[in-house]
């Protein structure tokens, strides 16, 4: 056994410990070069059987499922062989999301609402998934999956009413703009608390399985949210009970002003989170609508056949700020969005349809005008119900609604006290 002095002498020869602090490769003013981003050739990744055990294809967590090649052709084993009509519907839905985002972004800048979040560059993540899932499947989204609602046919006016918190807002102005809740379209209430939707999705999926149903759950979060405890709790429950759920991690490289390295991207992929839990993990080109569709359909079949959950990392890029409250020029290079090697999801799907002779630039331009006009018309209809800057739109006593199935006595007393005080003050905001 070594003497204590020997141990002290040995330690004194060591270099001091140091802490690694992740740092993004590009800051404002830097030239951008994404050459280090490994992008495998489209069609080069194998497609395992949906019933295969997760440990048989751990390699898929470290590569990238891609379908559309450099010539805009669909190639390889993951090609979902979609009909031209389906491809055109997906293209239109993505174009509608982009037009909707642009108009609502401008509405915020005009003071008509307090807040908005675009999904520019990420439209394929939600839209392609919505097309791959069954309409009865339950979605537990984060706050950049408005494409789920649009692809499932939610009226744009209803979405805008929520953004404006006006008299047509079914949530009575109680949710931050863009935090929709749509039971009609299998869209669970969005929460501002990160990743709470993950364990909720697992619980819903477990309930569906315990009832012998055929519906599955799908949930989304950003890569930064994988650091939250709820993420890991959800994966534990899902793997133990083989819950029929799809976990989607949208790795768009940035969580507000913190780059993905702070969530662990420097060490490994986010799809690799699945391996430690014994869950199937896929890493997918998030700007390739066909790859997103194929991966989601594969994971849905796996869930529906009791083979267990799947975690899909969608490798994509947030082309604009985190929200209207954010200025990305303060923390990242302005050249990043245009240098991103996986391109634009709408352009890539458009080019594919043109390449197979099922589309052309004239029809694309006509469609863009059509969706822009549809969004403009919906905005006019929604604004008839009021905008955020025009005062209180909901009767004041609705403040107490929607909390309990039956309002307890003490809240009834408080509501009456509030109404009496409002009446006495000459500000009758009570329900008429």
pLDDT of the residue at 398 = 85
**For the chain, what percent of residues have pLDDT higher than 70?**
96
Separation CA 83–CA 74 (nearest Å): 12
Q: Nearest Cα to 157, choosing from 394, 322, 386, 431?
A: 386
CB 238 within 8 A of CB 230: no
pLDDT of the residue at 7 = 59
pLDDT of the residue at 384 = 96
Sheet with 138-140: list strands edge to edge.
138-140, 217-222, 245-251, 310-315, 280-285
Residues 6+ apart with CB under 8 A from 262: 22, 224, 227, 255
Average pLDDT of the segment spanning 396-418: 90
Average pLDDT of the segment spanning 335-340: 94
pLDDT of the residue at 358 = 98
pLDDT of the residue at 390 = 82
pLDDT of the residue at 432 = 44
Tell me which of 20-24, 276-280, 372-376, 425-429 is least confident: 425-429
Task: Say which DSSP state 187 is in.
Answer: B
* Residue 79, token pair as written in the block: 């090609």
Domain boundaries, the chain: 54-389, 395-425
**What string of DSSP letters covers 41-103?**
PTT-S----TTS-GGGGGGGGTS-B--B-TTS-B-STT-----HHHHHHHHHHHHHHHHHHHH
Task: Note the pLDDT tens digit of each residue in 263-310.
Answer: 999 999 999 999 999 999 999 999 999 999 999 999 999 999 999 999
Task: Note the pLDDT tens digit of each residue in 2-21.
Answer: 666 665 676 778 899 999 99
Task: Note the pLDDT tens digit of each residue in 164-212.
Answer: 999 999 999 999 999 999 999 999 999 999 999 999 999 999 999 999 9
Tell me which of 58-62, 156-160, 216-220, 418-422 is least confident: 418-422
Average pLDDT of the segment spanning 410-426: 90
Question: Mapping DSSP to helix (H, G, I), strand (E, B) and coil, where does residue 130 land?
Answer: helix
Separation CA 1–CA 39 (nearest Å): 53
pLDDT of the residue at 428 = 62
Pairing outcome for strands 280-285 and 310-315: parallel
Separation CA 73–CA 353 (nearest Å): 9
Q: Residue 243 pLDDT > 50, yes or no?
A: yes
Task: Say which DSSP state 15 is in.
Answer: P
Cα atoms found within 13 Å of the Cα of residue 425, Cβ hemisphere only: 10
Average pLDDT of the segment spanning 111-121: 96
Question: Mapping DSSP to helix (H, G, I), strand (E, B) and coil, where does residue 325 land?
Answer: coil
Task: Note the pLDDT tens digit of each residue in 304-326.
Answer: 999 999 999 999 999 999 999 99
What CATH number belongs to 54-389?
3.40.50.970
Task: Say which DSSP state 138 is in.
Answer: E
Residues 6+ apart with CB under 8 A from 343: 287
pTM of the model: 0.94
pLDDT, mean over the chain: 94
Q: Nearest Cα to 299, choosing from 50, 74, 129?
A: 50
> In b/e form, how buried is each residue of 138-154, taking b as 16+ CB within 10 angstroms?
bbbbbbbbbbbbbbbeb
Query: Which residues are bridge partners to 148 per DSSP?
Result: none
Q: Residue 431 pLDDT > 60, yes or no?
A: no
Task: Note the pLDDT tens digit of each residue in 32-89.
Answer: 999 999 999 999 999 999 999 999 999 999 999 999 999 999 999 999 999 999 999 9
Separation CA 355–CA 284 (nearest Å): 22
């Amino acid at each position: 056994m070594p003497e204590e002095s020997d141990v002290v002498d040995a330690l004194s020869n060591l270099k001091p410990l140091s802490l690694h602090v992740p740092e993004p490769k590009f800051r404002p003013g830097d030239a951008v070069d994404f050459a280090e981003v490994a992008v495998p050739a489209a069609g080069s990744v194998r497609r395992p059987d949906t019933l295969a055990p997760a440990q048989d294809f751990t390699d898929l967590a470290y590569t990238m499922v891609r379908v559309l090649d450099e010539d805009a052709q669909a190639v390889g084993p993951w090609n979902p062989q979609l009909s031209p009509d389906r491809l055109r519907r997906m293209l239109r839905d993505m174009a509608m999301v982009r037009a909707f985002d642009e108009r609502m972004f401008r509405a915020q800048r005009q003071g008509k609402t307090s807040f908005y979040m675009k999904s520019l560059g990420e439209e394929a993540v939600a839209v392609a998934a919505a097309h791959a899932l069954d309409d009865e499947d339950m979605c537990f989204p984060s706050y950049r999956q408005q494409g789920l609602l649009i692809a499932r046919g939610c009226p744009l006016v209803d979405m805008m009413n929520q953004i404006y918190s006006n008299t047509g807002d079914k949530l009575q102005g109680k949710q931050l703009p863009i935090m929709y809740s749509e039971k009609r379209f299998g869209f669970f209430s969005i929460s501002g608390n990160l990743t709470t939707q993950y364990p909720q999705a697992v619980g819903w999926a477990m309930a569906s399985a315990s009832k012998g149903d055929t519906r599955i759950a799908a949930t989304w979060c950003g890569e930064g949210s994988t650091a939250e405890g709820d993420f890991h709790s959800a994966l534990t429950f899902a793997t133990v009970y083989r819950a029929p759920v799809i976990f989607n991690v949208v790795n768009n490289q940035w969580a507000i002003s913190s780059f993905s390295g702070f969530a662990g991207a420097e060490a490994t992929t986010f799809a690799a989170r699945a391996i430690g839990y014994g869950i199937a993990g896929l890493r997918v080109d998030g700007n390739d609508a066909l790859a997103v569709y194929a991966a989601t359909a594969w994971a849905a079949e796996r869930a529906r056949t009791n083979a267990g959950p799947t975690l899909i990392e969608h490798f994509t890029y947030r082309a604009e700020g985190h929200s209207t409250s954010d200025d990305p020029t303060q923390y990242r290079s302005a050249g990043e969005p245009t240098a991103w090697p996986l391109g634009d999801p709408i352009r890539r799907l458009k080019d594919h349809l043109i390449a197979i002779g099922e589309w052309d630039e004239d029809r694309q331009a006509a469609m863009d005008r059509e969706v822009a006009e549809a969004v403009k018309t919906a905005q006019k209809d929604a604004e008839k119900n009021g905008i955020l800057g025009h005062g209180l739109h909901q009767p004041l006593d609705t403040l107490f609604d929607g909390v309990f199935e039956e309002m307890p006595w003490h809240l009834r007393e408080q509501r009456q006290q509030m109404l009496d005080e409002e009446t006495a003050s000459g500000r009758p905001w009570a329900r008429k």
